[in-house]
């Protein structure tokens, strides 16, 4: 049974983890080259394939998702990278590409916005790129981009699509195969409601084939080696076995037909959050939602506070009442806060924390 205390932690990652998932991590250690581990790996892979909506293997990395962002770049073909930048984490993708020695052209828009598809298409017409990077759900702003359309544009111009769905996967519809995504990655600590420390990616056959010729794909994040070991139901490097126990338990809990229900629950939590914002707006204490309607994440909402309301002080009051929420990211810290309605939270737990925020606002 879920602890009655579950539902007090609303960061947009790491998110709250159910006690029964944490308990799964207490199982004994096993050799990662044993038949027992191969069974564990197979259970995790089966669940992840359903989550990613793919028939291909999903690679498991004992790292943060940032590591797989680097893998996406290092294993991509030579050539410049087009990076769609609309927040801190899409900017990180571009910075990683530069750090890997790539020439990067960034299409930047204001935090909270999404990059217009017309600009993406024009950039791809003007110059030949090896790949396009984009954030599906930009955790710093709560904006969601149309990664299916971005992938289609990339392919039409001979580029690969490299997609960060760290706060999207598991909470928003993703169709890896149907959308033709070449490299899509996520982390364990967001909508999957697992402890931090694991990252997952799926790559297209076309991407994997060209990766064999990538001259500087490195060692730890060599996607070709990941594929070779995945065929044996193993990982190329020593894995975080305890975290994989938790992953196995969560995949079993989601079940063979549960991803659509998970998407629907996240959509319901989003609706409740948006309705709360609209209810608060007449008071002047809340200005609105940062991301524009029609381009909002289903896992995180960035709420703008009204004039004279310091979001940082507000969150201190909320924490005094027993709830932890996400501060605005970077330059948005004083004027926004982030509601992480993701993972195993429910409409009930989200409603509870929003009521507490409303009480704290009423005293401002």
Starting at the edge strand found earlier in the chain, the sheet holding 286-289 runs 9-10, 324-327, 336-340, 300-305, 286-289
Q: Tell me the mean pLDDT in the region 174-178.
A: 98
Residue 57 lies in a domain: yes
Tell me the per-residue pLDDT of 101-135, one tens digit each, with 9 for 90 and over.
999 999 999 999 999 999 999 999 999 999 999 99
Residue 250 and residue 262 share a domain: no
Domain boundary among 254, 280, 295: 254
pLDDT in tens, 26-39: 999 999 999 999 99
Provide the pLDDT for residue 3: 55
**Does residue 243 sit in the same domain as residue 317?**
no
Q: Indicate the burial class of 290 (C-beta count within 10 angstroms; 0-12, 13-18, 19 or more).
A: buried
Taking the model in full, what pTM does it have?
0.96
Is residue 159 one of the residues assigned to a domain? yes
Work out the end-to-end distance of the chain between its first and last CA atoms, rounded to an integer number of angstroms. Answer: 38
Could you tell me if residue 144 is inside a domain?
yes
Contact present, 33 and 348 (Cβ < 8 Å): no
Amino acid 271: pLDDT = 98
243 in the same domain as 104: yes
Q: What confidence tens digit (pLDDT) does each residue in 20-68 have? A: 999 999 999 999 999 999 999 999 999 999 999 999 999 999 999 999 9
Domain boundary among 198, 223, 254: 254
Instruction: Identify whether residues 165 and 297 lie together within a single domain.
Output: no
1 pLDDT higher than 60: no
Residue 306 has pLDDT above 70, yes or no: yes
pLDDT cut 90: percent of the chain above it: 95
Query: 3-state DSSP call for residue 107?
Result: strand
- The answer to whether residue 61 sits within a structural domain is yes
Residue-range definition of the domain harbouring residue 137: 19-254
Q: What is the pLDDT of residue 77?
A: 96
Q: What is the CATH number of the domain that holds 270?
A: 3.90.1150.10
Residue 203 lies in a domain: yes
pLDDT (mean) for 237-247: 98
The residues with which 324 forms a beta bridge, in sequence order, are 9
Residue 111's domain is classified under what CATH number? 3.40.640.10
d(CA 183, CA 51): 15
Flag whether 151 is in a domain.
yes
Q: Measuring CA to CA, which residue among 212, 218, 214, 77 is closest to residue 154?
A: 77
Same domain, 312 and 357: yes
Residues 166 and 297 placed together within one structural domain of the fold:
no
Domain end marker among 199, 225, 254: 254
Are both 44 and 106 inside the same structural domain?
yes
Q: pLDDT class for 299, splitting at 50, 70, 90?
A: very high
| pLDDT of the residue at 257 | 84
Task: Choose between 121 and 1: higher pLDDT.
Answer: 121
Same domain, 186 and 330: no
Q: Based on the domain organization, do 186 and 209 belong to the same domain? A: yes
Report, as an integer, the average pLDDT of 146-157. 98
Q: Is residue 2 part of a domain?
A: no
Same domain, 353 and 248: no
User: Is the torsion defined by CA of 214, 57, 124, 295 positive or negative?
Assistant: negative
4 pLDDT band, cuts 50/70/90, is low
User: Is residue 208 situated within a structural domain?
Assistant: yes
How many domains is the chain built from?
Answer: 2
pLDDT class of 83 with cuts at 50, 70, 90 = very high
Do 182 and 304 belong to one domain? no
* 177 and 54 within one domain: yes
> Average pLDDT of 293-316?
97
Q: Would you tell me how many other CB atoms lie within 10 Å of the CB of residue 228? A: 12
């Amino acid at each position: 049974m879920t602890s009655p205390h579950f539902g007090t932690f609303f960061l947009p990652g790491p998110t709250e983890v159910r006690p029964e998932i944490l308990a799964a991590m207490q199982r004994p250690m096993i050799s990662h080259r044993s038949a027992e581990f191969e069974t564990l790996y197979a259970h995790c892979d089966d669940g992840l394939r359903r989550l990613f909506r793919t028939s291909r293997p999903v690679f498991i990395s004992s790292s943060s998702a940032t590591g797989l962002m680097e893998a996406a770049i290092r294993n991509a073909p030579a050539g410049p990278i087009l990076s769609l930048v609309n927040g801190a984490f899409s900017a990180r993708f571009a910075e990683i590409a530069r750090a890997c020695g790539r020439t990067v052209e960034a299409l930047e828009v204001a935090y909270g916005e999404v990059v217009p598809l017309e600009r993406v298409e024009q950039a791809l017409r003007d110059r030949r790129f090896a790949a396009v990077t984009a954030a599906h759900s930009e955790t710093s702003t709560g904006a969601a981009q149309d990664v299916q359309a971005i992938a289609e544009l990339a392919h039409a111009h001979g580029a690969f699509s490299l997609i960060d769905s760290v706060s999207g996967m598991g909470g928003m519809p993703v169709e890896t195969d149907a959308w033709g995504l070449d490299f899509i990655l996520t982390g364990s600590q967001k909508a999957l409601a697992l402890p931090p420390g694991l990252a997952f990616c799926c790559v297209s056959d076309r991407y994997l084939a060209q990766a064999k010729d990538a001259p500087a794909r490195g060692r730890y994040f060599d996607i070709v080696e990941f594929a070779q070991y995945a065929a044996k139901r193993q990982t190329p490097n020593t894995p975080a076995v305890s975290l994989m126990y938790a992953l196995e338990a969560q995949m079993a809990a989601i079940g063979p037909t549960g991803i659509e229900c998970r998407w629907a629950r996240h959509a319901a939590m989003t609706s409740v959050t948006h309705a709360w914002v609209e209810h608060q707006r007449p008071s002047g204490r809340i200005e609105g939602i940062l991301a524009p309607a029609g381009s909002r994440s289903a896992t995180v909402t960035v709420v703008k506070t009204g004039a004279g309301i310091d979001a940082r002080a507000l969150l201190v009051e909320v924490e005094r009442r027993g709830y932890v929420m996400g501060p605005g990211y970077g330059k948005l810290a004083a004027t926004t806060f982030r509601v992480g309605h993701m993972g195993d939270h429910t409409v009930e737990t989200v409603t509870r924390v929003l009521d507490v925020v409303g009480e704290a606002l009423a005293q401002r």
